[in-house]
């Protein structure tokens, strides 16, 4: 378990970037990980986790919520509209707001429940056809529409193209956030979180570097 290693690397990256110690949120991405590995990280005192599938998260997190106080659970994968109700009931933060129809559904659920998870709008910074997220050209309009619906938009999230230098993507995300007055930037994963912190990340999503490689699916 290398939670300590990653925490130490994050602290150095914060210092190098002139950021306050502890100002960057480390989201431990526990998707597909064996339960024992997740429990080791919970026992070590970590409380902020990310999952990319609603159904998988529903199968394991309610029991851990009962055992570990103060959990903060982030949905970081695409959200189907028909799973939105389950998602708002389970997650504290949804990082994958990516289309008008989902915004409508979340706004309706927020009205009904009188509460809504904090939201990040996912931006498809590489304009990749296979990836979800709002296209950069549509971002300003989408952000203002979401705000007009009273949705609690905290910031922006991106997943840069797998095979490219992530830096221009992190910078594009930071620029869109800055011109829209959004504070939070969810960017950076196991291989590039230090770069992301240097570019202003406030939330990094780190899976395999904490838990080890995800076991192959069968
Ligand atoms: C899986 C995943 C991560 C973590 O990836 P690692 O390379 O294991 O750190 C981060 N963000 C998203 C959206 C993911 O799906």
Q: What is the mean pLDDT of the chain?
A: 97
What does the pLDDT read at residue 174? Answer: 98
DSSP, residue by residue, the chain: --HHHHHHHHHHHHHHTTPPTT-SEEEEE-TT--HHHHHHHHHTT--EEEES-HHHHHHHHHHHHHHSTT-EEEE-S---GGGHHHHHHH-SEEEEE-SHHHHHHHHHHHHHHT---EEEEEB-TT--TTS-SB-GGGHHHHHHHHHHTT--EEEEE----TTS-SHHHHHHHHHHHHHTT--EEE---TTTHHHHHHTT-SEEEE-HHHH-SPPPP-
Domain of 13: which CATH number? 3.20.20.10
Interval 132-142 mean pLDDT:
98
118, part of any domain: yes
Q: Decide: 74 in ligand 1 pocket, CB within 6 A.
A: no
User: Please, what sign has the CA dihedral across residues 179, 185, 186, 188?
Assistant: positive
How many independent structural domains does the chain possess? 1
Q: Look at residue 71 and tell me if it is in a domain.
A: yes
Residue closest by Cα to atom 4 of ligand 1: 207
CB of 190 shorter than 6 A to ligand 1: yes
In this model, does residue 156 exceed pLDDT 90?
yes
The reply to whether 218 falls in a domain is no
Which has the closest alpha carbon to 35: 27, 25, 43?
Answer: 43
Asked whether residue 147 is domain-assigned, the answer is yes
Distance 30 CA to ligand 1 centre (A): 9
Mean pLDDT of 186-214: 97
The number of the ligand 1 atom at minimal distance from the alpha carbon of 205 is: 10
Query: Could you tell me if residue 142 is inside a domain?
Result: yes
Q: Is the CB of 77 under 6 A from ligand 1?
A: yes
pTM of the complete model: 0.97
| pLDDT at residue 49, as a whole number | 98
How many other C-beta atoms can be found within 10 angstroms of the C-beta atom of residue 20? 8
- Measured by CA distance, the residue closest to atom 5 of ligand 1 is 207
The tens digit of pLDDT for each residue in 54-100 reads 999 999 999 999 999 999 999 999 999 999 999 999 999 999 999 99
217 pLDDT band, cuts 50/70/90, is: confident
Residue 216 forms part of a structural domain = no
Q: Is the CB of 76 under 6 A from ligand 1?
A: yes
171 pLDDT higher than 90: yes
- Which residue range is the domain that position 183 belongs to? 3-211
Give a yes or no: residue 42 inside a domain: yes
Q: What is the mean pLDDT of the segment spanning 3-27?
A: 97
Question: What percent of the chain lies above the pLDDT cut of 90?
Answer: 98
34 belongs to a structural domain: yes
């Amino acid at each position: 378990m290398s939670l300590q290693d990653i925490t130490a690397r994050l602290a150095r990256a914060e210092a190098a970037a002139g950021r306050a110690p502890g100002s960057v949120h480390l989201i431990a991405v526990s998707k597909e990980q064996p339960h024992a590995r997740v429990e080791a990280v919970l026992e070590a005192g970590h409380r902020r986790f990310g999952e990319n599938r609603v159904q998988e998260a529903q199968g394991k997190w309610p029991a851990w919520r009962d055992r570990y106080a103060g959990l903060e659970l982030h949905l970081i994968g695409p959200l189907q509209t028909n799973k939105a109700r389950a998602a708002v009931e389970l997650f504290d933060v949804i990082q994958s707001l990516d289309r008008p129809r989902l915004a409508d559904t979340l706004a309706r659920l927020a009205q009904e429940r009188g509460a809504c998870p904090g939201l990040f709008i996912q931006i498809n910074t590489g304009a990749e056809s296979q990836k979800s997220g709002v296209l950069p050209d549509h971002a300003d309009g989408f952000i203002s529409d979401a705000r007009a619906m009273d949705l609690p938009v905290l910031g922006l999230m991106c997943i840069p193209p797998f095979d490219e230098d992530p830096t221009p993507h992190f910078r594009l995300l930071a620029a869109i956030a800055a011109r829209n007055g959004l504070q939070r930037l969810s960017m950076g994963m196991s291989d590039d979180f230090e770069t992301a912190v240097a570019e202003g990340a406030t939330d990094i999503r780190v899976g395999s570097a904490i838990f080890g490689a995800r076991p192959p699916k069968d």
